[in-house]
Amino acid sequence: MSSSPLPVLIFILAFLSSCFSGDASSKCENFPKFKSCKELRSPGAVFAYNYQNNTNTTQLEILFGAPLRPPHTSGWIAWGVNPGKRPEMIGTQAIVGIINERGSPTSNTFDITKETRLGCLLLPTKNLSGLQVLNASVAYDGKERLYTISATLVLENSVYNISRLNHVWQVGYAVENGSPRNHPTTLRNIDSTETVDLTTNEVRGSKNYRSYLRSVHGVLNIVGWGTFLPIGVIAARYLRVYPIKWEGWWAYIHMGCQTIGYLTGTTGWVIGLWLGHVSKYHTFYTHRTFAIFIFAFTTLQMLAFRLRPKPTDDYRKYWNMYHHLLGYALLVVICLNIFKGISILQGGEGWRWSYIAILAFLGAITLFFEAYTWFKFMGCSKNCAGRRQNQVPPSPAQGKPAAEEKE
Ligand code: HEM
Ligand code: HEM
Ligand SMILES: *[C@@H]1O[C@H](CO)[C@@H](O)[C@H](O)[C@H]1NC(C)=O
Ligand SMILES: *[C@@H]1O[C@H](CO)[C@@H](O)[C@H](O)[C@H]1NC(C)=O
Ligand SMILES: *[C@@H]1O[C@H](CO)[C@@H](O)[C@H](O)[C@H]1NC(C)=O
Ligand SMILES: *[C@@H]1O[C@H](CO)[C@@H](O)[C@H](O)[C@H]1NC(C)=O
Ligand SMILES: *[C@@H]1O[C@H](CO)[C@@H](O)[C@H](O)[C@H]1NC(C)=O
């Protein structure tokens, strides 16, 4: 990360902080009845609770609130605890609030099993493992536009450890016969679990770390693949012969940018692989396939350092064509994959606009050089017809000028 360009990084981080720091405690102010309250990772969701420790049980009074994503006006919200080792859907003992278009919302308790995940219809049950649910109710908080579930749980201390409680929440939009049906499986929906220490109101484990690493992943990829590589290409295209002949230097800039970009991007890529590995139940196939393509072929491009034919070789011309075409194709795939990554995040408007700003910046530089090239070319064709014979400027329509003859 030390190689990252400071201005760009600061620029991106400024955007990030603006999109990750919401109004943190404001939703909680609406539930003064609860001693502990926090916003959950899912946008707009809150969790508030009071607990009381008895000899063999813990009495836990909870409130879970979440909005329905517009334009939906019906669906379900769910919150539950999982007595298993991990905070996950299967095994969760859930309270589900069913929200109808008309009529008041209703609530029920469910035991969520493997079969649920495979699509079997859930049936309500009062026989939950290790807990009892009392006074469950669902309501609509018009001011905050939240649907809320409130209930009192009696947890058996032998089954649930309140300093390591797995809790799980979800919002879905399909309902059948008063039971919840499958929910979306975007990042937001599979991220909705954590292990919390109710005594300190702190999250345990690697979940926070993961969302931090996601930001690092995004920044490194945008800076590495999305900024340095294109700058390197611009240097190779415009500083080599036309419009500016920066003998020697263009190659240093080109190789320097490509090396920094490649190393930064690869670090981001490795973090991506790790993130993909950790969220075992979910793979973002398009993003992953593009990512592997990008890594494989930028590696091939980097091999140009060693495996380039000599300028005198017959097939150097074809090698150049291949190197340039692959280079441009990579830029396109990188651009697509960055937007793909941002769309996986959902609601990453800050990310989207910072990348668009970078693209606009790179586009402006390219446009400038392109215009400058034409300007010089036109000027030259009038004034110095003699010189034109040795130095034919590249036609922009031909793509990149035939390359590195001189080094
Ligand atoms: C009603 C029928 C339901 C179906 C068919 C269903 C289906 C699924 C599927 C297929 C996944 C895996 C997504 C993926 O990794 O690609 C999943 C994940 C998840 N579901 Fe459900 N689900 C249902 C109900 C619920 C309920 C009621 C809750 C909340 C209590 C819930 C919470 C979760 C959570 C937190 C995840 C992500 C973590 C994990 O995979 O364990 N689901 N669900
Ligand atoms: C060209 C640049 C990029 C490459 C090569 C790349 C690579 C990867 C890879 C290999 C994965 C693992 C996929 C899986 O196994 O499911 C991944 C996941 C992911 N990437 Fe990217 N990525 C890039 C850009 C971005 C950007 C710009 C963002 C967002 C700002 C982003 C956000 C994500 C997210 C949210 C995940 C899922 C993480 C998780 O499962 O917890 N990526 N990326
Ligand atoms: C709850 O109370 C029991 C017995 O009073 C005690 O053994 C246990 O450590 C307590 N747990 C917490 C988290 O305070
Ligand atoms: C707690 O559990 C123990 C044994 O499991 C039992 O002997 C005791 O009566 C229980 N205490 C209460 C208050 O239920
Ligand atoms: C509750 O579930 C357990 C196992 O999950 C089962 O052994 C028990 O018979 C059930 N009790 C009732 C009343 O259905
Ligand atoms: C449940 O509600 C009833 C009446 O609304 C109340 O008397 C009772 O104390 C409540 N139980 C709990 C555990 O909050
Ligand atoms: C509950 O979890 C905490 C933290 O992991 C641990 O220190 C404590 O011994 C556990 N308590 C019980 C009763 O298992």
Cα(161) to ligand 7 centroid in Å equals 6
Give the CA radius of gyration of the chain: 28
Helix pair angle (285-302, 316-345), 10° resolution: 150
Residue 273 has what pLDDT? 93
- pLDDT 10s digits, 243-285: 677 777 788 888 899 999 999 999 999 999 998 888 776 788 8
Residue 384 has what pLDDT? 55
Ligand closest in space to the Cα of 129: 5
Ligand closest in space to the Cα of 126: 5
Residue 93 has what pLDDT? 96
Q: How far is CA 96 from CA 31, 132, 147, 183, 346, in A?
A: 20, 14, 11, 13, 24
80 vs 68: CA distance, rounded Å: 18
For ligand 1, pick from 171, 183, 284, 285 the residue to mutate: most ligand atoms within 8 Å of CB: 183
> Which residues approach ligand 1 with their CB closer than 6 A?
78, 80, 88-89, 92, 94, 96, 112, 116-117, 119, 122, 168, 170, 180-183, 185, 190, 192-193, 281-282
User: Which two tokens mark 210?
Assistant: 């993961």
Residue 212 has what pLDDT? 83
26 vs 22: CA distance, rounded Å: 9
pTM for the structure as a whole: 0.76
- pLDDT 10s digits, 147-205: 999 999 999 999 999 999 999 999 999 998 889 999 988 888 888 899 999 999 888 87
Ligand closest in space to the Cα of 113: 1
In degrees and rounded to multiples of 5, residue 37 shows phi and psi of -155, 145
Ligand 3 atom closest to residue 53's alpha carbon, by position in its atom list:
1
In three-state secondary structure terms, 47 is strand
Cα(129) to ligand 3 centroid in Å equals 20
Ligand closest in space to the Cα of 164: 7
Taking a C-beta distance cutoff of 8 angstroms, is the pair 49, 198 a contact? yes
Nearest residue by C-alpha to atom 4 in ligand 4 = 56
- pLDDT 10s digits, 125-144: 999 999 999 999 999 988 88
Among candidates 361, 336, 340, which has minimal Cα distance to 5?
361
Distance in angstroms between the alpha carbons of the first and the last residue of the chain: 31
Cα(292) to ligand 6 centroid in Å equals 56
The parts of the chain modelled with pLDDT lower than 50 are 1-5, 18, 21-24, 386-407
Nearest residue by C-alpha to atom 18 in ligand 2 = 272
Q: Which residue has the tokens 């991106």?
A: 12
